[in-house]
Amino acid sequence: MHVLSIHAGYRCQHAGRCCTSNWPIPVEPSHLTRLEDLIARGVVAPTGPAIAAVIREPDGPALLGRDHGRCVFHDTHAAGGCRIQRAAGHEALPLSCRQFPRQSVTDPRGVSVTLSHYCPTARALLSTAGGPVGIVDRTTAFPAHEEYAGLDATASLPPLLHPRCLLEWDAWWLTEALAVRLVDDDPRRGLPRLALAVEHLRTWRPGTVPLRDLVQRAFDVASIAAVAEWDPAADALATHVADALAAVPEEWRPDAGRALATRAAALPDGEVGRFLAAHVFANWSAYTGRGLRTWYRSVEAAGCLVRLTNDPGMVDLVLRHLADSSALITRWSRAETSPVIRRP
């Protein structure tokens, strides 16, 4: 089990963002049977007697009822706002409730989990975490025996270096760890330096130096490279906004547009670096995209959108919840046709 050090102390504080965002909450059949039994026995009840507890879609999953954008089982109880959880425990919750705000990927190393900062508790960790960001394992907040539903790459080939060449697993894990450190160490120059490392790595050819050695060399060089502070142009910001909105299903696009129209107070550099590290790590685009440029482009997208909004929560709402991940990665994969930065 691997998580970022900034997320290692995460504990649900029942902020209720996942319960009050007006999104559909599907209930898998096994949990629906249990929930209906709890309702029938009077153990659990919705907040209003005239509100449907469960909505059965004719061609889709059963959904928890909603009232003015709020799950009908959510209230403001001091012990936590979910009536299902209070009555029957965490395991009685639907899968999407049990997983929020976790975003996970499983590969031959094990499970890696990052968090969505749309959750206010996770968002606060960007402000309160101290020390350099690293990848840690065996944390009490994320026990190995728990359930983690996300991308399963255990039987997959390693991520692509570029569309014609695979990485090796060890080389990818080192790339990820060094990239986390790079964007955290100097948030103002982290993205240009990450881009340099990516372009350096793409020069590797089989039969030359060991790939893992080149990874270390690429990041060593990038970490001391003379690069300008990252200052994305207006057209770059607009392109990332357009890509993100195009990947959001039409019914949710107005919500995404409002999220990306946020203009909050400027973020401290440390919070920006931690936010970028959370998008470097456990990033699905590395596994399902067409190369490291695709992966870089996804991190750049997070950076551009947080530069625009100054709100990590709203950025993660769009990128991690409202957008279709396959559609996003398809758009980001266009980066494979040209360098993400010119090497000096």
Q: Based on the domain organization, do 202 and 83 belong to the same domain?
A: no
Mean pLDDT, rounded, for 288-293:
98
> For every residue of 267-322, which 3-state class applies, written as one string?
CCHHHHHHHHHHHHCCCHHHHHCCCHHHHHHHHHHHHHHHHHHCCHHHHHHHHHHH
Q: Based on the domain organization, do 239 and 314 belong to the same domain?
A: yes
Residue 228 sits in which domain range?
A: 157-337
Residues contacting 160, CB < 8 A, separation 6+: 166, 167, 289, 290, 291, 292
Domain annotation covers residue 185: yes
Q: Which of 93, 112, 140 is the last residue of a domain?
A: 93
Q: Based on the domain organization, do 80 and 166 belong to the same domain?
A: no
Does a cis peptide bond (omega within 30 degrees of 0) precede residue 101? yes
* pLDDT over threshold 60, residue 257: yes
Q: Based on the domain organization, do 316 and 217 belong to the same domain?
A: yes
What pLDDT, on a 0 to 100 scale, did the predictor assign at position 313? Answer: 98
- Cβ atoms of 254 and 245 closer than 8 Å: no
Domain annotation covers residue 146: no
What pLDDT, on a 0 to 100 scale, did the predictor assign at position 50? Answer: 64
Q: Which residue has the higher pLDDT, 130 or 135?
A: 135
Q: Which of 93, 117, 137 is the last residue of a domain?
A: 93
Q: Based on the domain organization, do 276 and 175 belong to the same domain?
A: yes
Q: Which residue has the tokens 């059963």?
A: 62
- Cβ atoms of 44 and 88 closer than 8 Å: yes
Q: Which residue has the tokens 């994305």?
A: 232
Q: Based on the domain organization, do 314 and 171 belong to the same domain?
A: yes
What pLDDT, on a 0 to 100 scale, did the predictor assign at position 130? Answer: 82
Considering its fold, how many domains does the chain have in total?
2
- Cβ atoms of 324 and 288 closer than 8 Å: no
pLDDT digits (tens, 9 = 90+) for 79-113: 888 999 999 999 999 999 999 999 999 999 999 99
**Residue 55: φ, ψ to 5°:** -110, 125
Mean pLDDT taken over the chain = 94
Domain annotation covers residue 251: yes
* pLDDT over threshold 60, residue 229: yes
pLDDT digits (tens, 9 = 90+) for 43-63: 999 988 767 888 887 888 899
* pLDDT over threshold 80, residue 13: yes
Q: Based on the domain organization, do 70 and 164 belong to the same domain?
A: no
What predicted TM-score, i.e. pTM, was given to this entire model?
0.95
Which token pair is 5?
Answer: 């050090």
Q: Based on the domain organization, do 219 and 315 belong to the same domain?
A: yes
Q: Judging by beta carbons within 10 Å of its beta carbon (0-12, 13-18, 19+), is residue 20 exposed, middle or buried? A: middle
Distance CA 202, CA 204 (A): 5
Q: Residue 165's beta-bridge partner residues?
A: 162
- Cβ atoms of 206 and 311 closer than 8 Å: no
Which token pair is 122?
Answer: 């996770």
Q: Which residue has the tokens 């039994």?
A: 37
Domain annotation covers residue 285: yes
What pLDDT, on a 0 to 100 scale, did the predictor assign at position 310? Answer: 98
Distance CA 53, CA 36 (A): 9
Band (pLDDT 50/70/90 cuts) for residue 343 is: low
Mean pLDDT, rounded, for 271-299:
98
| Percent of the chain residues topping a pLDDT of 90 | 88
Band (pLDDT 50/70/90 cuts) for residue 339 is: very high
Distance CA 268, CA 337 (A): 34
What pLDDT, on a 0 to 100 scale, did the predictor assign at position 76? Answer: 87
Q: Which of 59, 93, 127 is the last residue of a domain?
A: 93
Q: Based on the domain organization, do 76 and 167 belong to the same domain?
A: no
Which token pair is 150?
Answer: 């996300």
Distance CA 258, CA 249 (A): 14
Which token pair is 162?
Answer: 């570029």
Mean pLDDT, rounded, for 311-324:
98
What pLDDT, on a 0 to 100 scale, did the predictor assign at position 342? Answer: 65
